[in-house]
Amino acid sequence: MTDLSVGQFVNDLAPVQSQDTADNRKVGAEIYIEKLHKFYGDVKVLEDLDLTIQAGEFIAIVGRSGCGKSTLLRLIADLEQASYGEIKFKSTENFREGITSDDIRVMFQDPRLLPWKNILENVQLGLKKQQHDKAAQLLEKVGLQEKSKLWPSQLSGGQRQRSALARALSHTPRILLLDEPLGALDALTRLEMQNLIEKLWLEQGFTTILVTHDVSEAVQLADRIILLDKGHIRQQFKVELNRPRKKNAQFAELEQQVLDAVLAT
């Protein structure tokens, strides 16, 4: 793949490998999407979509409402079935088709915590008894160790999303799917959550796909930004900004280029 400067888009589908991504390859899983189609009756949501995502890569998917972003995430998570086409996964251990709950976790805009269980019990969901200590460790990582015995209703929106993130990561996923999880948060809490997600991604190395309407958020977090338009990949932007990212002239230039591309669809 030709080396591109910040702000230029990638016409091919080759994955982008940054130093951060290279460090994550042992944990994350590669994703291969081939000739993917999704129809709802006569409505084409995704059509002939091809995409390769490198192990440990952080991908952001942007585009107008209804372009197929969340549908693509649900197909990867096996929450819906493709009309036809393939989604394959490859880890350091094996090459396999299909999805297992141990490998992939999804975080939604709604934290989906069980109201009758406290925060620690919510994070422990699905874990074996001998793994329960891991839930407490993750609550400490997200800054909620002192809130572990509270009910979800007693937490702020940001704290509930931190709890949902801890629950998702308690299973040590190879792939983390983020379906606009920060969309309902206030600006300051959103920035704090972005920093937390990036920190844990760098520490744990899972492959991450973020669906967002926030172009600034995509530039802040992603190695590569995918622009979807009417079920097709319209453009790909390679993000070559050092981490942690600062909102400098380069950041603003790329943000404007991605925004202009979205508005042109």
DSSP calls for the chain? -----TTPEE-S-PPP--HHHHHHTTTS-EEEEEEEEEEETTEEEEEEEEEEE-TT-EEEEE-STTSSHHHHHHHHTTSS--SEEEEEEE-SS-EEES--TTTEEEEESS----TTS-HHHHHTTT--GGGHHHHHHHHHHTT-GGGTTS-GGGS-HHHHHHHHHHHHHTT--SEEEEESTTTTS-HHHHHHHHHHHHHHHHHH--EEEEE-S-HHHHHHH-SEEEEEETTEEEEEEE--PPSSP--SHHHHHHHHHHHHHHHT-
193 lies in the same domain as 68? yes
Q: What is the DSSP string of 204-240?
A: H--EEEEE-S-HHHHHHH-SEEEEEETTEEEEEEE--
165 lies in the same domain as 80? no
Report the predicted TM-score, pTM, of the whole model to 2 decimal places: 0.87
The pLDDT value recorded for residue 238 is 97
The pLDDT value recorded for residue 74 is 95
94 lies in the same domain as 189? yes
Q: What are phi and psi of 109, to 5 degrees?
A: -65, -40
The pLDDT value recorded for residue 246 is 93
Other residues' Cβ atoms within 10 Å of the Cβ of residue 26: 11
Domain that holds residue 161: 113-172
Q: What pLDDT digit, counting tens, does each position of 48-94 carry?
A: 999 999 999 999 999 999 999 999 999 999 899 999 999 998 865 55
175-179 sheet: strands from edge to edge: 9-10, 232-238, 224-229, 58-62, 207-211, 175-179, 104-108
The pLDDT value recorded for residue 28 is 87
Domain assignment of residue 77, yes or no? yes
The pLDDT value recorded for residue 12 is 41
147 lies in the same domain as 185? no
Question: Can you give the CATH number for the domain in which 57 is found?
Answer: 3.40.50.300
Domain assignment of residue 3, yes or no? no
The pLDDT value recorded for residue 11 is 42
178 lies in the same domain as 82? yes
The pLDDT value recorded for residue 1 is 28
The answer to whether 84 touches 38, Cβ cutoff 8 Å, is no
Task: Classify 73 in phi/psi space as left (phi over 0), alpha (psi -120 to 50) or beta.
Answer: alpha
62 lies in the same domain as 180? yes
41 lies in the same domain as 164? no
Domain assignment of residue 219, yes or no? yes
Size of the chain in residues: 265
127 lies in the same domain as 235? no
The pLDDT value recorded for residue 130 is 83
Domain assignment of residue 4, yes or no? no
155 lies in the same domain as 33? no
* Residues in contact with 199: Cβ distance below 8 Å, sequence separation at least 6, in sequence order: none
Domain assignment of residue 108, yes or no? no
Taking the C-alpha atoms of residue 24 and residue 206, their distance in angstroms, rounded to an integer, is 7
- Which tokens hold the place of 110? 């709604």
Domains: count for the chain: 2
Domain assignment of residue 1, yes or no? no
137 lies in the same domain as 56? no
Domain assignment of residue 218, yes or no? yes
Taking the C-alpha atoms of residue 206 and residue 200, their distance in angstroms, rounded to an integer, is 9
Domain assignment of residue 239, yes or no? yes
Task: Report, as ranges of residue numbers, the positions in the chain whose pLDDT lies below 50.
Answer: 1-17, 22, 24, 97-98
The pLDDT value recorded for residue 92 is 58
Domain end residue (candidates: 172, 190, 215): 172
What residue type is assigned to position 94 of the chain?
A: N
43 lies in the same domain as 89? yes
Domain end residue (candidates: 172, 193, 215): 172
96 lies in the same domain as 136? no
The pLDDT value recorded for residue 206 is 94
Q: Which of 61, 165, 35 is nearest to 107 (CA)?
A: 165
